[in-house]
Amino acid sequence: MQTFSIGLAGMGNVGAGVFKHLRGNRSLLRERLGYELEVRKIAVRNLSKDRGCEVPAELLTTDWRQLLDDPSIQILVELMGQKQESLELILGAIERRKIVVTGNKALLAEHGREIFEAAMRHNVPVFFEAAVGGGIPIIKTLREAFVANHIQSIHGIVNGTSNFILTQMTEQGLGFADALRQAQDAGYAEADPALDVNGGDAAHKAIILASLAYGFWVPPEKVFVEGIEHLTASDICFAKKLGYRIKLLAVIKADQGQVEVRVHPTLVPASHVLASVNGVFNAMAVRGDVVGDALLYGRGAGQDATTSAVISDLAEAADALSSPRRNLGFTPHSLYGACKPIGECTSEYYLRLAVDDRPGVIAEVASILGRLQIGISSILQPEAAEGEIATLVLMIHRASHAQISTALSQLGALGCVRKTPRMIRVEHFS
Ligand code: NDP
Ligand code: HSE
């Protein structure tokens, strides 16, 4: 039976899972694939660290360049999660005609174009199923299963850590810091967990999905990003009262050749399926012009789920080695190419204001919104004790980002508005 040799760069959460499950499910993989997948070398920083499984010492090295220089290695799996070193490793592997498998979404979001230009020059595939949605096969689905479709929109919960935090805060009443600690202990969070809470990781994934769907690498600076770090228990509570759940959503839409890519906390109607995606689970609602609506759901982070995605890429890499195919992992095309400026993107909104509890306040607020042609769809003002600051929650009809930004700064400048107004987008998936 033919054997394909793998160099594994990184044996942390994900790398250790790949090594463990390649061994554990070896006979199943051999039966299904018709060849052996064998790890020949593993690069780590610390040779004496416990990997949670038995690793022959002779496989380990602290020098990832050895994986490039070993001519017997045919597939290079990059799971170090670094920037410069991972980029050097991937470009070096492509030059040496080693197929690349990576889960490094931050790197792809920033250097996807450069990586795939090299991949095309050398005709070497780069596979990245683990980069988005953990164990959910969203990359292969977009690339292969939905090849017949113009993708009209993708709405995704694509960060497991932030969804886990929001679920713990909403369902268990847990504080932000405790919920984040639990996510880190479970191996869901990035090495730098700020990326999970500030929307950065979800933005990396949104860039990858949009690039795959629309055939050009979306520049990171064109993506609007807001994280969950400023969400308060009272917003979560008001949202619930109004019939919504708050989710960190990646919104990707095509509009007359322009592509809109944004990531932000969003009020999702409690009746919508995405509102029930809880804990570490991710989901992507994809709308294509041929397939219609489709939903993919599964574990978005963690060792085993991500390992499943990496091994599926390994199988694809081995297939490509045994019979070369056209699939390089990403196919550019020229039907799209421009991103919609955020100012022109429209949405509905939730607005929370801390205001003086006195006559005329609602009129002042309404007059600013009216002058800006912004419509109010409902108002909620829970009773406040005399002399206390009142909370005013307004649901706002569709308006552009530019309109609502102007409204927020004018409202913030009103004497009766006591704190910076809080705005969260609302999505009805129409
Ligand atoms: P970890 O931090 O747990 O693991 C990183 C591994 O890379 C460690 O084994 C580390 O060695 C090794 N490493 C880092 N730098 C070097 C270097 N310069 N030379 C040699 N080895 C190095 O990360 P994860 O396993 O969680 O993530 C790996 C990648 O997968 C990241 O890009 C991440 O974004 C992505 N990913 C992670 C998911 C998850 O759920 N965790 C899900 C999907 C993708 P040592 O152990 O000795 O320190
Ligand atoms: N930190 C990431 C998350 C890992 O929580 O979604 C999976 O990409």
Q: What is the pLDDT of residue 90?
A: 98
**Rounded-to-integer distance, Cα 140 and Cα 428, Å:** 27
**Which residue among 139, 158, 165, 196 has the greatest number of ligand 2 atoms within 8 angstroms of its CB, and so is best to mutate?**
196
**Rounded-to-integer distance, Cα 387 and Cα 147, Å:** 61
Ligand 2 pocket, residue 159 CB under 6 Å: yes
Choose the catalytic residue: 41, 98, 105, 205. Answer: 205
Q: Walk me through the domains of the chain, giving residue ranges and CATH numbers.
A: 3-127+303-322 (3.40.50.720), 138-298 (3.30.360.10), 342-426 (3.30.70.260)
Q: What is the pLDDT of residue 263?
A: 98
For residue 158, give every residue at least 6 positions away whose Cβ sits within 8 Å of its Cβ, in sequence order, or none: 132, 133, 202, 205, 206, 209, 250, 282, 284, 300
**Rounded-to-integer distance, Cα 59 and Cα 51, Å:** 13
Q: Exposure string (b/e) for 88-98, b if CB count within 10 Å is 16 or more?
A: ebbbbbbebeb
Beta-strand relationship, 376-380 and 390-400: antiparallel
Residue 183 alpha carbon, nearest atom of ligand 2? 5
Ligand 2 pocket, residue 281 CB under 6 Å: no
Residue 202 alpha carbon, nearest atom of ligand 2? 6
Cα–Cα distance list, 232 to 130, 136, 148 (Å): 31, 30, 42
Please indicate whether residue 205 is annotated as part of the active site: yes
Q: What is the pLDDT along the chain (430 residues), one digit of tens a residue?
A: 899 999 999 999 999 999 999 999 999 999 999 999 999 999 999 999 999 999 999 999 999 999 999 999 999 999 999 999 999 999 999 999 999 999 999 999 999 999 999 999 999 999 999 999 999 999 999 999 999 999 999 999 999 999 999 999 998 888 899 999 999 999 999 999 999 999 999 999 999 999 999 999 999 999 999 999 999 999 999 999 999 999 999 999 998 889 999 999 999 999 999 999 999 999 999 999 999 999 999 999 999 999 999 999 999 999 999 987 778 889 899 889 899 999 999 999 999 999 999 999 999 999 999 999 999 999 999 998 888 899 999 999 999 999 999 999 999 999 999 999 999 999 999 8
Ligand 1 pocket, residue 88 CB under 6 Å: no
Ligand 1 pocket, residue 188 CB under 6 Å: yes
Beta-strand relationship, 151-157 and 244-255: antiparallel
CA of 275 relative to ligand 2 center, distance in Å: 19
Ligand 2 pocket, residue 164 CB under 6 Å: no
DSSP element (H, E) containing 362: helix 361-371
Task: Name the closest-CA residue to atom 1, ligand 2.
Answer: 189
Q: Name 284's bridge partners.
A: 156, 296
CA of 139 relative to ligand 2 center, distance in Å: 15
Task: Name the closest-CA residue to atom 7, ligand 2.
Answer: 301
Is the distance from CB of 160 to CB of 273 less than 8 angstroms?
no
Helical residues (DSSP H) of 198-274, grouped into ranges: 200-214, 233-241
Answer whether 0.95 is exceeded by the pTM.
Answer: yes
How long a stretch of residues is the chain? Answer: 430
Long-range contacts of range 406-412, CB-CB < 8 Å, 24 or more positions apart?
Answer: 406/372, 407/368, 407/369, 407/372, 407/374, 410/368, 410/372, 411/351, 411/353, 411/365, 411/368
